[in-house]
Amino acid sequence: MQSIHNIFFENSKNMSNIPSNSIDLVVTSPPYPMIQMWDELFNTQNTKISKYLSDNNGMAAFNLMHENLNLIWNELWRVVKEGGFVCINIGDATRTLNNVFALYPNHSKIISNMLELGFQSLPEILWRKQTNAPNKFMGSGMLPAGAYITLKHEHILIFRKGGKRDFKKSNEKKERRESSFFWEERNLWFSDIWMDLKGTPQKISDKKIRKRSAAFPFDIPYRLINMFSVKGDTVLDPFLGVGTTTLAAMSACRNSIGYELEQGFQDLILLGIDNIVSYSNDRIDKRIDKHLSFVEERIKNGKEFKHINNYYNFPVITKQEIDLNLNKLISVNTENKSKIEINYLENEQKDLIIDTGNGLKSKLLEPKLPNKKKSSKTGTFYRY
Ligand SMILES: C[S@@+](CC[C@H](N)C(=O)[O-])C[C@H]1O[C@@H](n2cnc3c(N)ncnc32)[C@H](O)[C@@H]1O
């Protein structure tokens, strides 16, 4: 099994390298309108923006910045397949212009612009960023009618082009089953508020590059890719930054395409890719370990499992998880820096259980196994 990853250092307002109706999923985070760090970039796209900002005309600048993003959303409408998803991570901005403090609601502007293009809006995720810093309250302190709510969440907007995707052919159904995730992951990933992910610290020494980087944590694209696409799909990020979406697609056995204006990010992107084999395999091991702990805990609590996964031979909650298969990475080929290949282990099976220290086998056969009489289906355990 192989995946291919294209990276273009070009403006994504014209993605002519991508044929129409060819993208299964978009995962992205654009520059945030009205957040100061992006003023300069927006201004290079439309010089009227800095004029409006210096005239303190916040709403006019906000609208023009979104007009610029619309060029890219418009291209998404062309390249995304029927039934394909678009996930956009965006934060609202607060800003004081001419002594007037205001919120610029980027998320609602993007929703209305995407709806106008024809995308369907789906329930969204609020990413409540974990932080060690004490609450930063804004405004008049303990005196009423002049203090503002703290803004510590971002939005992950979710859209679909057209109706539900069909998985009709038997190979499509198989890919889908192999791309399933654990029941307990579903419970976390599909909740409407994500509270467990920290922002990503910017470890970049070059000042100019650091000014332009705002990477999201790996788990944001990694979860979204697992939630809204299947293995072998193509994932696009039109605002690639340091390449987090590409890395997540590599880990999840999907192809990817990224567009980034800043050529200076190339070395950082390649650095991430150079480490992707060990990083991904470690991530996969952690998912499996977490599942094994979940299994152990459930058994301790006297609960039962009705199904066994065909590849790993461990219990899973639902029938949908029995073909779940997390392919480990074997190698990466970066000879061509804009078209990178990843090779995967076909089916790493069963003996993975032995890799888990003292062994799942013994863990599962501890005396607290559910009472055999209660459910004959739990008998599948004894396949060990
Ligand atoms: C918020 S950052 C994305 C960060 C990314 N999610 C990551 O994890 O590194 C937005 C990125 O979009 C890039 N960008 C802005 N406008 C662009 C355009 N029209 N075409 C391509 N890239 C663009 C910026 O240079 C910046 O790196």
Distance from residue 377's CA to the centre of ligand 1 (Å): 51
Cα 174 to ligand 1 centre (Å) = 35
- End-to-end CA, the chain: 29
Is the per-residue pLDDT at 188 higher than 90? Answer: yes
CATH of domain 2-274: 3.40.50.150
Question: Average of pLDDT values for 298-327?
Answer: 95
Check pocket membership of 11 for ligand 1, CB cut-off 6 A: yes
Q: Whose CA is nearest to atom 14 of ligand 1?
A: 239
Q: Is the CB of 262 under 6 A from ligand 1?
A: yes
pLDDT at residue 199, rounded to an integer: 74
Pocket test for ligand 1, best of 41, 110, 154, 240 (most atoms within 8 A of CB): 240
Cα distance between residue 256 and residue 339, in whole Å: 10
pLDDT at 384: 26
Residue in this structure with the two tokens 């309250």, named with its chain if needed: 137
Count CA atoms closer than 13 A to 270's CA, side-chain side.
Answer: 12
What band does 265 get if pLDDT is binned at 50, 70 and 90? very high
Residue 362 has pLDDT above 90, yes or no: no
Which residues have C-beta within 8 Å of that of residue 188, sequence separation ≥ 6?
196
Least confident of 124-133, 196-205, 289-298, 312-321: 196-205
Distance 109 CA to ligand 1 centre (A): 19
Would you state the structure tokens that stand for residue 197, as one six-digit string?
Answer: 């992910």
Distance (Å) from CA 117 to ligand 1 centroid: 22
- Residue-wise pLDDT for 266-278, tens only, equals 999 999 999 999 9
Across the chain, mean pLDDT equals 89
CA-CA-CA-CA torsion sign (186, 190, 194, 197): positive
Q: With 80 as the cut, is the pLDDT of residue 132 above it? A: no
User: Residue ranges per domain, the chain?
Assistant: 2-274, 286-332+345-383
**Average of pLDDT values for 202-209?**
56
What was the pLDDT predicted at 363? 41
Which pLDDT score is estimated for 78?
A: 98
Asked if the model's pLDDT at residue 370 lies above 50, the reply is: no
Residue whose CA lies nearest to ligand 1 atom number 27: 241
Query: Taking residues 261-290, what's their average pLDDT?
Result: 97
Are 119 and 83 contacting, i.e. CB atoms less than 8 angstroms apart?
no
- In this predicted structure, the answer to whether residue 319 has a pLDDT above a threshold of 70 is yes
* The two three-digit tokens of residue 34, written as one number: 């009205």
Distance 31 CA to ligand 1 centre (A): 6
Neighbours of 278 (CB within 10 A): 10
Cβ of residue 261 lying under 6 Å from some atom of ligand 1 = yes
pLDDT per residue as tens digits for the range 136-164: 788 999 999 999 999 999 999 999 999 99
Give mean pLDDT, residues 235-262.
98
Q: How far is CA 208 from the centre of its chain?
A: 26
Percent over 90 (pLDDT), the chain: 83
Atom of ligand 1 nearest to the CA of 262: 25
Ligand 1 contacts CB of residue 258 (under 6 A): no
Cβ pair 307, 323 in contact under 8 A: no
268 lines ligand 1 (CB under 6 A): no
Rounded to the nearest angstrom, the distance between the alpha carbon of 247 and the centre of ligand 1 is 15
Q: What's the CA-to-centroid distance between 241 and ligand 1, angstroms?
A: 5
Instruction: Kindly state if the Cβ of 216 falls inside 6 Å of ligand 1.
Output: yes
Residue 192, pLDDT > 80, answer: yes
| Ligand 1 centroid distance, CA of 10 (Å) | 11
What pTM, to 2 d.p., does this model score?
A: 0.91
What was the pLDDT predicted at 376? 36
Q: Supply angle C-alpha 294, 299, 300, rounded to 5.
A: 95
pLDDT at 167 over 70: yes
Residue 353, pLDDT above cutoff 50? no
